[in-house]
Structure 1
Amino acid sequence: MDSRNIITGIFNNIEQIIVGKREVIEYTVTTLLAGGHLLLEDVPGVGKTTLAKALAQTIDCGFTRIQFTPDTLPSDVTGLSIYNMKTGQFEYSKGAILNNIILADEINRTSPKTQASLLEAMEERQVTVDGVTYPLPRPFMVIATQNPVDFLGTYNLPEAQLDRFMIKISIGYPSMADEQMMADRFINKKLTKRLEPVADKDTVIKMQEEVADIKVNRDLISFVTRFVQETRKDGNISLGASPRASLALIRAAQARAYIKGRTYCIPDDILDLIVPVIAHRIILSPEARLAKTNTEKVLKDILLRIPIPVLS
């Protein structure tokens, strides 16, 4: 089966469970194929956990759910060394992070120390316990969910943590028609069934490698780097996007082009991803927050100052 049929199969499979959220599924698959991590921020009950489980079943990968609470420890995530009295040696007991698709559920309900236990895994695809480094399996993707930060019992994610998420999106409430369809499928027990996989680990790894070979014009690279540079100069922004943001935007654009069936990127690939890739990485200035300016408007204002390249 070629990649186009596999991608179509992935979308159709997930849509059996996640109703009326094609764009959300597209961002999720884009993040997977780009080798990144996804942050879902939304109110409870809109399908964040269901989306992660549906993706893992669709690509036949290992799945671990970590339910973050205030008393979750870093060792619950990374694992720990346990002394074996029979052998007289310490043995590594695997943590929940050693799997393919990791659902970090309600990540902002745990302490900053436990949140930090994910940093090495998300960036370097490895964990270090008692001085010994253990590689993570491929493919590896963290899908984290969080409630809005003004909800009771939540902690703000630190900037270093946010910067490691390639894309941040919200699922949102379904339309009335979609919610009725969801209810019908629920009554007919179609929402609770296990999805049959349409791909496997090796297929996903191969597709990720093909994404990395998607061509990106030099003018598009210049456009991305200039845009990111402008976020560091804008008066409405006190913390601009990092170099990691530039690389994430380029790789996400490659994945989007791949999903669309192209071997090259176009400006729309960049433009459609700027807000979900960049918005969570910047911090508005106190003056901008006082004026109730949102990050999306600030980013769009920056876009107006930069000529969009026209590819011949």
Structure 2
Amino acid sequence: MASRTSLPVLLLASGLVGFLTPRVATAAPQTIIQTSLKGGIATDGTGVATPRQGGSTQNDAPPASASTFYDAWRPVELRMPATATITKAYLAVHGGFGGIPTDVPAKVRFAGKSLAEAGAPVVSNSVVAVYDVTTGFGVTPGTTQYMVQERGDADPAYNGSGLRIGGEQLVVFYEDAAAPLRQVSWFVNDALGDSAGTTTTFGGLVSCGQGTRTVTTSFGIIWETEAEQNSAVYLKQGAAPEQLLSSTLGGCDDGQPAATGGWRALFTVGSFGADSSGALVGVSGDNFLPEPRADGTASNSRQSDELFSISGPATASTWTIRFAGDGDSKLTSLITVIEQDD
């Protein structure tokens, strides 16, 4: 193959400016950002295991204190070159199966500050609210960590399908002159993981018989425990048959681990960033290795880390990603990074 040529340059040269419009069969995603840039995306998620009165695990057990803010079980981590320039930083608050509270900013703190300082959400639906934390919260390039806190009443009952907070996801877009030009996209959704699934189609891709196309994908999923890792993701390249990439998505990788399982932060997201050279890498234990993971079991929620790097020939002008499940989870976030060489 010849020298590396970025996908967006090829597309613009061909006049295909509408090259990455998702078409979703069973849900309508909301686009946060969809652009080409020399740089990339860094993302990670976490959640709060709200203590219960008397340590109770009864379904209706209330929080130990409704007004106390509790730390997430671990901070979110960003990884990108220290030379990068952050263009946008967002905190996405993911709810429970029944929805998200209406007063999220009052119930969440990020980097030691009330989320109310971020103002109104830039995008929201019934289960996700996205806040702009680019300024005022101290988000910086390099390898950094940020603590998330939730007020006790963010999870009003130990196990309840009402309005509650499942977890938080930090998503940062950055530019770096030394990085390749990439097409980056982030969609949030309220898509039931049923058998038909949610299909996102990337059309208008430039066909190149000698090239290789690589798509990095991060899925955000809510409302599954360790024992519910049975969602699936499929890839279809042009007219080729649909290919199963994994049947073990889901669980609560970004909720606090527990020996006996249970209802804590029912949230998981594929976490990744970039090393000092600009190469994409997994973060917080997530990686691009094949599924199911060798360190995963049916009870530790690590059979999948919801993070994929998919490579294939650049001969097809359309690639399609489909997420499906058995009706007990929702797809709330989909991040893609597309690169192509020639």
* TM tier relative to shorter chain: under 0.3
Q: Greater relative contact order: 1 or 2 (C-alpha under 8 angstroms, separation 6 or more)?
A: 2
> Whose helix fraction is larger, Structure 1's or Structure 2's?
1
TM-score by length of 1: 0.25
The structure whose residues are more often strand, as a share, is 2
